Chains A and B, each alone.
Chain A
Amino acid sequence: MVELGFQQADLLPLAPEIAILGSALLILLIDSFSRGKHGKAAVAIAAASVAAAFAASLALYGTTAEAFGGTFVVDGFSLFFNVAILLVTALVVVSSLDYLEEFYPEGADELTEYVVLLLFATAGMMLMASSRSLVTAFIALELAALPSYALVAFAKRNRASIEGGMKYFVLGALSSAFLLYGISLVYGATGAFDFVAIADAIAAGDVEPGVLSLGSLLVLFGLAFKVAAVPFHVWAPDAYTGAPTTIAAFVSSASKIAGFVLLFRLFTTAFPAEVDWVYAAIVLSVVTMTYGNFAAAVQDSVKRMLAYSSIAHAGYALIAVAVFSAEATGDSAFALGAGMSHLLVYGLMNTGAFLVVALVDDYYGAGYTFEDYAGLGRKMPAVGLAMAVFMLSLAGLPTGGGFVSKLVLFAGAVNSGFWWLALLGGVNSALSLYYYTRVLKWMWVEEAPEDQVELDRKPLALYASILFAAVATVALLFAFAPVIETATAAAEALLE
């Protein structure tokens, strides 16, 4: 037993986060003390730490622990999201090896900063999953957000990247202000930051309903910004489009997942369904999936289509929040578990899809529009097949776990009496087929033009990431049991 005043009980449960943070600091340290930059080594360390964190998260599974006076809590819920976030990070980190070398000529040198920023953001997101206090939640959120701003603007000579970073930052800062203001009102109304304490205060009944409601709404909006829910999504299409594609994958997947985990925990633990945020969540869900799909349907750029598609998926996941209603809380664990499962699967599919864009658009320079994908499926069948898996699974066809998770999610809505929300989701899914299959149409149906770029190089790491994501997506169709069962158990524990 170490006697330095540290409590093992505080630190051990947070081992995954500590591993990520530690390796980030280690890379910085090496970077400071060595003359040259060691991009590859940094990637290796990062990959190792992600693997370690992943292993730790799995190993910790089953433990429920509070750390640092209950401001952090490690439970099935947080570990589930750790896994989801780390999967995305791993894919992004590994693929960055090839990606930055090609896309940014100075990339190899900049790789250390890039990796460190990624790791910090990852740590922030994981901490968001574990936070059970508005204080730690806010800090973790900013820890995730600030590196993300920098990462989006990472391609310093690229106008789109800068523009995207600037927009992301300005709006992110604005929404942080709303969030903090909301936190202040909740604090004022309940006198507490701890989620459980807030719930207790509300239960005690001695709160100003208007202040609490407005506060919870502002917090909801702040997190809605994070998950890019319409109408707080405005930053997302531009930031995703402008960002280096790996970062777009990271932000649109991991960051969104992290936003949702906080949303889920906060609104299930702290605010009972009687508080009026439920209306807002329903509105957000409906508007988000509809807007995302409609706008995605009319894009010319694959990357921007994916940006809107990720907005649409936020709408689906919001169903899990929206179905909380006074009558149906008993069944909400089901919907929540379904939402969690969908986010995990979504992380893989969405990241994989963005990585294909990274490969085609950035690595090979084939172009960003749908037309530029003409005939690529036949030229690189493995990637074409992987893209088919991602697109169809995102659309909710049974090439991957996306089919199961989306259906289970809709089933959750039906189970809570929101059959109409499920139907609306269904209509949206159908519309989404239009634009997802457009990609496949160009990749597989159309013939490649004569003057298409050479695709002779094979970036191993990028390929490996894409294929891993594809295989994992397909595997989740068959091995969906651990995901949904874990998620449901975690959701049940959370709601108790």
Chain B
Amino acid sequence: MVPPSYYVLLSALIFAIGLYGVLTRRNAVVILMCVELMLNAANLNIVAFAAYLGDVTGQILVLFALAIAAAEVAVGLGIFILVYREYGTVDVTLPRGMRW
């Protein structure tokens, strides 16, 4: 059995990559994808731990998390469409009407 530390390391890496993307990308859709990466990093962790612990609850959470991620994408894309309609682009750095 692969020790969980490898999974944890991998997931941390994926999480960091996702975070990096969120912080550096302008395109909303790319950011959304990066968030998905982060979520899946967490999922990976949970699955690894569940397997290691022999506990199914973790895997159930992952299922739910996937579904939620999908719903999130749906809502998110809807909002991005509105952004596109208003700004003509999905560059997240453009809407800056509200500040301070």
Contacts and interface: CB of A to CB of B under 8 A. Distances in A.
Chains A and B share a contact (CB less than 8 Å): yes
Nearest to B60: A135
Contact of A187 (B28, B58, B86): B58
Contact of B49 (A135, A191, A238): A191
B97 interface: yes
B70 to A, nearest CB: 11
Contacts of B82: 153, 156, 162, 165-166
Nearest to B23: A174
Contact of A166 (B4, B46, B64, B83): B83
A68 B62 CA distance: 19
A183 B46 contact: yes
A261 to B, nearest CB: 20
A191 B55 contact: yes
B34 to A, nearest CB: 9
Contacts of B68: 138-139, 142, 146, 176
Contacts, number: 127
A406 B67 CA distance: 40
A343 B80 CA distance: 33
Contacts of B42: 177, 180-181, 183-184
Please report whether the interface of chain B is mostly helix, strand, loop or mixed according to DSSP. helix
A156 B84 CA distance: 12
Interface in A235-260: 237-238, 241-242
A169 B35 CA distance: 11
A188 B4 contact: yes
Interface residues of A, number: 40
Interface in A168-211: 169-170, 173-174, 176-178, 180-181, 183-185, 187-188, 191, 193
Nearest to A148: B75
Interface string A127-153: 000000011001100100010011001
Contact of A163 (B15, B38, B97, B100): B97
Interface of B: 4, 8, 11, 15, 18, 22, 28, 31-32, 35, 38-39, 41-43, 45-46, 48-50, 53, 55, 57-58, 60-61, 64-65, 68, 71-72, 75-76, 78-80, 82-83, 86, 92, 95-100
Interface of A: 134-135, 138-139, 142, 146, 149-150, 153, 156, 159-160, 162-167, 169-170, 173-174, 176-178, 180-181, 183-185, 187-188, 191, 193, 237-238, 241-242, 295, 304
10 contacts: A139-B68, A153-B79, A162-B95, A163-B83, A163-B98, A170-B28, A176-B39, A177-B18, A178-B38, A184-B11
Nearest first, the 8 closest Cβ-Cβ pairs linking A and B are: A177-B38, A184-B45, A163-B95, A180-B42, A181-B42, A188-B49, A173-B35, A238-B98
